[in-house]
């Protein structure tokens, strides 16, 4: 099997045994990775008697991320290497899975290297449901600012929930607890997966969807408090990530068609482990004017293709977004369903996902306007309402999917 990590790592780890492996993917995170390593180490000391390995899987950082990681004094063993394979977060995580599998480590945890709010007890929250035999896969359940996680809120959370019947609030949060069985399940999938967007930012939605549809135990969520990390302005930095995540989500819809076609009724909330701490997330500012402008410009640029995909009434409605870079929830849902159904045509996949990006920007711009000056609870209710609308229009999806 393609190793994905350097040979010397294998030699150095020969004969070692750990109760937990904590993987930290990184690319230019020298400012924060030392802190993450130190906190993870404290978590391993407290919850795993110090018997853990911290693995930094780096993408060839130019800012000495590896050095900062290795320089941090920890009691736990730690290693850092540059993974082999396609550049991306997924390759970094895939290489850690291979290390866990080689070591037969019963649990693997992933945490991002740009996290500033991580606490030692996150390690317990992300692993206890697995240690207790209740779950094979634990997702993060954090308090995020209403404008952080726009891909999650507007597509990944509602669509994954209503398709597969389980409400997982942060399906692409990035911080996960994974059992050895689940790691082996991931590694048993065709190796070509690691040549797709799963090797990039598609990894999280792929892991979560696979765990829901193909896992041996229920998915749990870990209450973690606030997620404070290097935030991104949706209009400026989230385009490529959107393509990788949503492309993977649509592709998985084909794979798990028989699962979601049969699911009926309201989705169930995946159990949450731990009390939700009372915290206030760091505010994020979004440049709405920029968002509307790039949305409207992008829709205009791709209009010929977009209008060829959509039914007449829907493209008529979307004419407004073309002018003003805004979009209401119900039109957004229909557009998503149309694009998901068309995604079955492999030859237009790239054009589809590229065209959906500016439409997504319009939805984000409107969401920001709808919730501006409103509380976090108000925004959360709006997200839940949108999920309900995704659910009630599921028959539209089925109809379009079947052609």
Choices 107-115, 274-282, 372-380, 395-403 (CB under 6 A): range interacting with ligand GTP: 107-115
What minimum distance in Å lies between the beta carbon of 149 and ligand GTP?
Answer: 6
Choices 106-114, 278-286, 339-347, 367-375 (CB under 6 A): range interacting with ligand GTP: 106-114
Q: Does 295 bind ligand GTP (CB under 6 A)?
A: no
Among ligand GTP, Mg ion, none, residue 99 binds (CB under 5-8 Å by kind)? none
Q: Does 92 bind ligand GTP (CB under 6 A)?
A: yes
Q: Tell which one of 16, 46, 64, 87 touches ligand GTP (CB under 6 A).
A: 87
- For residue 188, what is the DSSP state? T
Choices 47-55, 82-90, 208-216, 386-394 (CB under 6 A): range interacting with ligand GTP: 82-90
What sign for the dihedral angle of Cα 56, 60, 63, 66?
positive
Q: Does 114 bind Mg ion (CB under 5 A)?
A: yes
Residue 269 three-state SS: strand
Q: Which of 367, 379, 358, 374 is nearest to 329 (CA)?
A: 367
Q: Does 281 bind ligand GTP (CB under 6 A)?
A: no
Q: Does 232 bind ligand GTP (CB under 6 A)?
A: yes
Residues near 347 by beta carbon (within 8 Å), at least 6 away in sequence: none
CA gap 212, 67 in Å, rounded: 37
- With tokens 């550049």, the residue in question is 87
CA torsion, points 348, 351, 354, 359, in degrees to nearest 10?
A: -90
What minimum distance in Å lies between the beta carbon of 201 and Mg ion?
Answer: 11
Choices 106-114, 185-193, 195-203, 393-401 (CB under 5 A): range interacting with Mg ion: 106-114
Q: Which is nearer to ligand GTP, 87 or 276 (CB)?
A: 87
What minimum distance in Å lies between the beta carbon of 246 and Mg ion?
Answer: 18
Q: Which of 233, 248, 366 is nearest to 296 (CA)?
A: 366
What minimum distance in Å lies between the beta carbon of 266 and ligand GTP?
Answer: 27
Q: Which of 114, 88, 144 is nearest to 32 (CA)?
A: 114
CA gap 129, 215 in Å, rounded: 14
Among ligand GTP, Mg ion, none, residue 268 binds (CB under 5-8 Å by kind)? none
Choices 228-236, 237-245, 311-319, 344-352 (CB under 5 A): range interacting with Mg ion: 228-236
Q: Which of 345, 153, 140 is nearest to 250 (CA)?
A: 345
Q: Does 229 bind Mg ion (CB under 5 A)?
A: yes
Q: Which of 389, 262, 250 is nearest to 332 (CA)?
A: 389
CA gap 399, 135 in Å, rounded: 34
Binding mask 47-76 for ligand GTP (x = CB under 6 A): ----------xxx-----------------
Are the C-beta atoms of residues 113 and 80 closer than 8 Å to each other? no
Q: Which is nearer to ligand GTP, 182 or 203 (CB)?
A: 203
Q: Which of 62, 46, 42 is nearest to 54 (CA)?
A: 42
Query: Which residues bind to ligand GTP, rule: CB under 6 A?
Result: 25-27, 29, 57-59, 87-89, 92, 112-114, 149, 174, 229-232, 241
């Amino acid at each position: 099997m393609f190793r994905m990590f350097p040979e010397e790592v294998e030699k150095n780890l020969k004969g070692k045994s750990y109760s937990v492996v904590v993987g930290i993917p990184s690319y230019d995170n020298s400012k924060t990775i030392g802190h993450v390593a130190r906190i993870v180490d404290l978590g391993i000391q407290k919850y795993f008697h110090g018997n853990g390995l911290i693995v930094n899987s780096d993408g060839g950082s130019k800012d000495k991320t590896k050095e900062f990681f290795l320089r941090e004094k920890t009691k736990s063993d730690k290693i850092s290497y540059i993974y082999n394979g396609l550049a991306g977060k997924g390759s970094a995580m895939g290489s850690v899975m291979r290390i866990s599998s080689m070591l037969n480590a019963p649990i693997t945890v992933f945490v991002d290297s740009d996290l500033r709010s991580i606490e030692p007890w996150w390690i317990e929250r992300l692993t206890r449901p697995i240690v207790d035999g209740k779950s094979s896969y634990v997702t993060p359940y954090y308090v995020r600012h209403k404008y952080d996680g726009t891909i999650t809120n507007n597509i990944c959370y509602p669509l994954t929930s209503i398709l597969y019947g389980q409400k997982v609030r942060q399906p692409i949060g990035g911080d996960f607890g994974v059992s050895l069985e689940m790691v082996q399940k991931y590694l048993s999938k065709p190796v070509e997966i690691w040549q797709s967007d799963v090797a990039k930012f598609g990894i999280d939605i792929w892991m979560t969807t696979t765990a829901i549809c193909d896992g041996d135990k229920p998915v749990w969520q870990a209450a973690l408090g606030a997620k404070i990390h290097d935030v991104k302005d949706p209009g400026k930095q989230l385009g490529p990530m959107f393509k990788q995540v949503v492309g993977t989500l649509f592709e998985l819809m084909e794979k798990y068609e028989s699962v979601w076609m049969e699911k009926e009724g309201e989705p169930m909330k995946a159990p949450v482990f731990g009390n939700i701490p009372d915290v206030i997330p760091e505010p994020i500012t979004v440049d709405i004017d920029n968002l509307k402008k790039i949305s409207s410009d992008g829709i205009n640029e791709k209009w010929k293709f977009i209008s060829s995909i959509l039914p007449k009434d829907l493209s008529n409605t979307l004419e407004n977004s073309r002018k003003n870079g805004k979009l209401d929830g119900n039109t957004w849902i229909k557009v998503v369903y149309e694009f998901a159904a068309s995604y079955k045509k492999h030859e237009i996949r790239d054009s589809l996902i590229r065209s959906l990006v500016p439409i997504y920007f319009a939805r984000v711009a409107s969401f920001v306007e709808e919730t501006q000056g409103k509380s976090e609870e108000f925004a959360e209710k709006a997200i839940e309402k949108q999920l309900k609308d995704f659910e009630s229009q599921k028959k539209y999806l089925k109809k379009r999917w079947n052609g």
